[in-house]
Amino acid sequence: METETGLGKADLHIHSGAGDGVASVMHILEYVEHETDLDLISITDHDLIEGALEARELVGTHNYRFEFIVGMEITTLEGHLLAYDLERPIRMLLPLARTIQLVHEQGGFCIVPHPTSWLTRSIGYHGLCRIMEDERQDVAFEGLEIINPTLAGRVIYEKVLAMNREQWHLPEVGGSDAHSLDFIGSGYTLFAGDSAADLRRALNENATHAGGRFLGLEDHRRLMSIAGEQMLRSLVIMPSQHVRRAIDSLKEGDQQ
């Protein structure tokens, strides 16, 4: 899991204070700039796109050395799905196949986070197989998150790695699933090049590599220190944002 020289490095799974993370978008960008060697990142808040859009605007107006991809972690009826290169949010609690189609309609791509994990809302084995067996061109995954440093990712790592290499053969990626600054980059994806376009090319060619480390006891102690704030955001702030967005969607006649 060591960094390979000459390869770009991306963390495609970061949560911000616009969702249930504890760091503001600006603090995340500054941390990535000065404290990591990442070439590419994505903010993927749960069922919210505002933080990612804010980050894209800030990256566009500041001279950061890294690139940014707009993302969301969408709650489908069959579990969480990471979606990238979006311009508009995708409604939560739609069937998995329909969610994938809506992402692709925007020109985006989909990665499965913490697959089959029973510790969080994850797409299960049968759900993965149904998509893999679907013959529609617009119903497909572009990658599988093999390394997720959290406990939810650790408990299924060996099983998912074996299943992918024996059965699915999807491009392998890593992401930190970080909800605070100090865990950003603890999971990452290696690819030839250093840009968002290079990453998509590597995914298309099944030429990505997952890297990182799993969190230890001391890491989990540090996570406990932010658990209260994260729970407040998850149980109070985020639901109110989802309600407002649902009302706005109804007013606009949004059919997604």
φ, ψ for residue 190, nearest 5 deg: -100, 140
C-beta separation of 3 from 37 below 8 A: yes
pLDDT tens digits, one per residue of 105-139: 999 999 999 999 999 999 999 999 999 999 999 99
pLDDT given at position 8: 98
- Computed over every residue of the chain, the mean pLDDT equals 90
pLDDT tens digits, one per residue of 49-62: 999 999 999 999 99
Helix axes 25-35, 50-61, angle to 10 degrees: 50
pLDDT given at position 216: 84
Q: What is the pTM of this model?
A: 0.89
The DSSP bridge pattern shows strands 209-212 and 40-43 to be: unpaired
For residues 163 and 166, give the distance between their C-alpha atoms in angstroms, rounded to a whole number: 5
Q: Is the pLDDT of residue 148 over 60?
A: yes
Average pLDDT over residues 200-221: 90
pLDDT band at 232 (very low <50, low <70, confident <90, very high): low
pLDDT given at position 66: 98
- What percent of the chain is predicted at pLDDT more than 70? 84
Any idea where the domains of the chain sit in the sequence? Answer: 7-252
To the question of domain 7-252 being in CATH 3.20.20.140, the answer is: yes
Average pLDDT over residues 137-145: 98
Q: Is the pLDDT of residue 159 over 80?
A: yes
Q: Is the pLDDT of residue 238 over 80?
A: no
Q: Is the pLDDT of residue 251 over 70?
A: no
The size of the chain, in residues, is 256
pLDDT band at 219 (very low <50, low <70, confident <90, very high): confident
Phi-psi region of 11 (alpha: psi -120 to 50; beta: other; left: phi over 0): beta
